[in-house]
Structure 1
Amino acid sequence: MKYTQALDIAPGKAICYSGFREGQSPGGVFPTYKEVKEDLLILQHQWKYLRLYDCDKHAETVLEVIQKEKLDFKIMLGAYIVAEANNYGCPWGGSYPEDQLEENKSINLKQIKKLIDLANKYPDIIFSLSAGNEACVDWTDHYVPVEKVIEYVKMIKKEAKQPVTFCENYLPWLDKLKSLVEVVDFISIHTYPVWEYKNIHEAMDYTKSNYYAVADTYPDKPVVITEAGWTTYSNGKGICPSNVSEEFQSIYYNDLVDWSLDTDILTFVFEAFDESWKGSNEALEPEKHWGLFTVSRKPKKVMQDLFSTL
C-alpha cells in the first residue's frame, strides 16, 4: 500500500522545517511571523510537504502564515513528548527525579491535546499527525514506554480525522514497536547512514535497506521516511569529519530525492535550515549543520543552483 493511498495526498517533495535562527531556541525566543513567512517563501519553490515537531508557538505561527498568506503547503504536525521513564542507557543523560517524570506526564497530555486542537483548527493544512519523535529508541533522553505511546495514538485517532503515526529510528520498528504498528495508520522511520559510519558511496544502499527492512516486515502498512539527511560538518564525535561536506550532502540529497520520487515513497529530508541552538557549544557540532541552507538562510552547495539569488 503506497503512502499516497493511505494519506490521500499527491506525490511531492517533503522537508523537515524548524525556523529557529541565531539566538532563538525552543522555549526561548521564537521566530516571528515575518521570519517564518520569509522561510516559507523560500521553501515553497521546492517543497510541498513540511514536517513540524512540536505544538509550540512556532508551529502556531507556521500554520497562521500558511493560512493567511494562502501558501500551498501541507503539514505533518507532531507532538513532542518528553520523558515518562528513566533511560539509563542514554549517553547524554536520560535519568530524572520521579516528580519530574510525573510532571512530564501532564506536560505530554497537554501536548497531545494541543495537537488534536490544531488538527481540528487547520484540517485543510494539516494532513497527518505524529504522537511523538524518537521517544522509544534505546539511546533517547526522552523515553516514553511503548504502551503509553499507544495510548496517545488512540487518543489522537479518537478526536482527530487525520492519519496518525509515530516517528522513530527504523530499527525499533522491526521488533520493539510491533504492538504500535497495529494502531498507527502508517509507519514513520528515520535513517541516517552517516551516523552509522557509512560513507557517501554506501549511503543510498544503506538507506534503501533500512526502508525495505521495515516495509517488507509490514507489507500491509504504509511506510514513510520522516528523517533522512547528511550533515556538512562534524567535530569528530560520532561522525568522522572526512565523511561530511557540502559536496557529500549534495550527492546524498539528490540521490535520495530521485529514489523517493521514482518509488513513490514520501521522504522528509532533514532538514531545511541549520539549527545553531542544537547540541554542544562546539562550532562543528554535527547537530547544528544538517540544513540545506545555513542558519542565515544562505543556500549550501546542494541548493546553490536553485537559489542563486539568496
Structure 2
Amino acid sequence: MNYIKELDIEPGKAICYSGFREGQKPGGSYPSYEEIKEDLLMLQNHWKYIRLYDCDQHSDIVLEVIEKEKLNFKVMLGAYIVAEVNNFGCPWGGSYSEEQLIENKKMNLVQIQKLIRLANQYPDIIFSLSAGNEACVDWTDHYVPVQSVIDYVKIIKKGAKQPVTFCENYVPWIDKLKDLVEEVDFISIHTYPVWEYKKIHEALEYTKSNYHTIADRYPNKPVVITEAGWATNSNGRGICPSNVSEELQEIYYNDLVNWCLEENILTFVFEAFDEPWKGSAEPLEPEKHWGLFTVDRKPKLVMRKLFSNLL
C-alpha cells in the first residue's frame, strides 16, 4: 500500500520539533514567538512536515508563527494524554493516587477537545492528529488503557476532518493495539535500534524489520514512522556511551532518510534540537541528546554541510 495515495500526503522530509531552550520546559518557561520563528526559519527549507506532541502554549505559538509568517509547513498535532491507570512496572515512576488518576482523565478530555479546536482553527496547516504518545507501551509512566485511546480517537474523528492516528512504540501494535487499528486512519510507530542495544551496522535493518512487522500485519492500513533517531551522548543509562556519537547519528540518519525516500515511507526524524529539560539532572542523560542540532542551535555533524552558515 502506498501511504501517500491513501492519506493524500505529498512526499517530503519530516521532523519532530520541540522548541524548548536552556532553562525552558513544559509547564515552566516557554519559548517566545521570536525564538520559535527563528527555529522554523532554520528548518523550513529542509523539512516539509513537523510533529508537535502537545496542545499546550508551545503548540499555540508554533501554529501562530506558521500562519502569520506564511511558512510552508504541514503539522502533525498530538494531544498529550497522561496516566489513567497505574503502571507499577515503569522504572521511573508510574504510580499515582486514585484522585490524581481521576483528575488526569478530566485533563485528557480537555486535551482532546483542544486538539479538535486547533485542528478546526488551522485546517490548512494541521494535516493529521494524534490521540496520544507512548501511552500504551509496557514501560510508560503515563499509561492509558487501549479502550480509552479508542474512545479518544472516536471523539477526535467526530470533531475534526483530519486523519487520526496514535503514536506508539512498534511493539504494542503487534497485538495489544489490534482493536485500535480498526479505528485509526493510519498507524504511527516508533523505532529506536540504539535503545534496543543494536550497533550501527544492524540499525537500518532493525528499523526495516520493525516497520515491516507492523506493515505486513496490517496490509490495509498505512504505516508512518513518527519517531526514529540516534542519540549523540549517554551516561550509560539504557544506552552504552560507546554506541552513541555524532558520527553514528550521521550514519543512521542518512541510511534512514534514503531508505524512507526510496520506499515512500513518511518518517519523522527524532528530533530537531536537543532538549536539556528531559530526564534527570545528569547532563549526559541520553534523553537530552537526540537533536540534529544542539540546544543552542548549532548543527551537529549530520547537519554541518547543510547549515555551514551556523558554524
Partner of 2:145: 145
Please state whether the residue corresponding to 1:104 is helix, strand or coil. helix
Q: Give me the whole-angstrom Cα distance separating, in 2, the residues matched to 1:6 and 1:169.
A: 22
Q: Give me the whole-angstrom Cα distance separating, in 1, the residues matched to 2:297 and 2:7.
A: 31
Give the C-alpha shift of residue 3 in structure 1.
Answer: 1.9
Q: 1:249 and 2:249 equivalent?
A: yes
Give the C-alpha shift of residue 283 in structure 1.
Answer: 1.1
Is the 1:6–1:186 contact (alpha carbons within 8 Å) kept by the matching residues of 2?
Answer: no
Q: Give me the whole-angstrom Cα distance separating, in 2, the residues matched to 1:219 and 1:189.
A: 15
TM-score by length of 1: 1.00
**How do 1:252-263 and structure 2 match up within 5 A?**
252-263=252-263
Partner of 1:207: 207
TM-score by length of 2: 0.99
| Deviation by residue 1:35-87 (Cα, 9 ceiling, x = unmatched) | 00000000012100000000000001000000000000000000000000000
Partner of 2:154: 154
Partner of 1:45: 45
Partner of 1:91: 91
Partner of 1:288: 288
| Deviation by residue 1:128-176 (Cα, 9 ceiling, x = unmatched) | 0000000000000000000000000000000100000000000000000
Q: Give me the whole-angstrom Cα distance separating, in 2, the residues matched to 1:11 and 1:303.
A: 21
What amino acid sits opposite 1:168 in the alignment?
Answer: E
Q: 1:21 and 2:21 equivalent?
A: yes
Partner of 1:102: 102
Please state whether the residue corresponding to 1:46 is helix, strand or coil. coil
Partner of 1:218: 218
Please state whether the residue corresponding to 2:35 is helix, strand or coil. helix
Q: Give me the whole-angstrom Cα distance separating, in 2, the residues matched to 1:104 and 1:283.
A: 30
Give the C-alpha shift of residue 2 in structure 1.
Answer: 1.9
Question: Percent sequence identity over matched residues?
Answer: 78
Partner of 2:175: 175
Partner of 1:194: 194
**How do 1:228-243 and structure 2 match up within 5 A?**
228-243=228-243
Long gaps (5+) in structure 2:
none
- What is the CA RMSD across the aligned residues, in angstroms? 0.5
Q: Give me the whole-angstrom Cα distance separating, in 2, the residues matched to 1:138 and 1:81.
A: 16
Q: 1:115 and 2:115 equivalent?
A: yes
Partner of 1:303: 303
Please state whether the residue corresponding to 1:123 is helix, strand or coil. coil
What amino acid sits opposite 2:26 in the alignment?
Answer: P
Q: Give me the whole-angstrom Cα distance separating, in 2, the residues matched to 1:59 and 1:258.
A: 29
What amino acid sits opposite 1:46 in the alignment?
Answer: H
| Deviation by residue 1:210-261 (Cα, 9 ceiling, x = unmatched) | 0000000000000000000000000011101110000000000000000000
Give the C-alpha shift of residue 111 in structure 1.
Answer: 0.1
Q: 1:60 and 2:60 equivalent?
A: yes
Q: 1:127 and 2:127 equivalent?
A: yes
What amino acid sits opposite 1:293 in the alignment?
Answer: F
What amino acid sits opposite 1:292 in the alignment?
Answer: L
Please state whether the residue corresponding to 1:297 is helix, strand or coil. coil
| Deviation by residue 1:173-227 (Cα, 9 ceiling, x = unmatched) | 0000000000000000000000000010100000000000000000000000000
Q: Give me the whole-angstrom Cα distance separating, in 1, the residues matched to 2:308 and 2:51.
A: 25
Give the C-alpha shift of residue 6 in structure 1.
Answer: 2.6
| Deviation by residue 1:97-138 (Cα, 9 ceiling, x = unmatched) | 000000000000000000000000000000000000000000
Q: 1:164 and 2:164 equivalent?
A: yes
Q: Give me the whole-angstrom Cα distance separating, in 2, the residues matched to 1:188 and 1:51.
A: 12
Aligned residues: 310
Please state whether the residue corresponding to 2:127 is helix, strand or coil. strand
What amino acid sits opposite 1:306 in the alignment?
Answer: L
Give the C-alpha shift of residue 7 in structure 1.
Answer: 2.2
Q: 1:6 and 2:6 equivalent?
A: yes
Moved over 4 A (4+): none
Q: Give me the whole-angstrom Cα distance separating, in 2, the residues matched to 1:266 and 1:292.
A: 18
Is the 1:7–1:128 contact (alpha carbons within 8 Å) kept by the matching residues of 2?
Answer: no
What amino acid sits opposite 2:160 in the alignment?
Answer: A
Please state whether the residue corresponding to 1:202 is helix, strand or coil. helix
Q: Give me the whole-angstrom Cα distance separating, in 2, the residues matched to 1:4 and 1:119.
A: 21
Long gaps (5+) in structure 1:
none
What amino acid sits opposite 1:61 in the alignment?
Answer: I
Give the C-alpha shift of residue 279 in structure 1.
Answer: 0.4
Partner of 1:72: 72
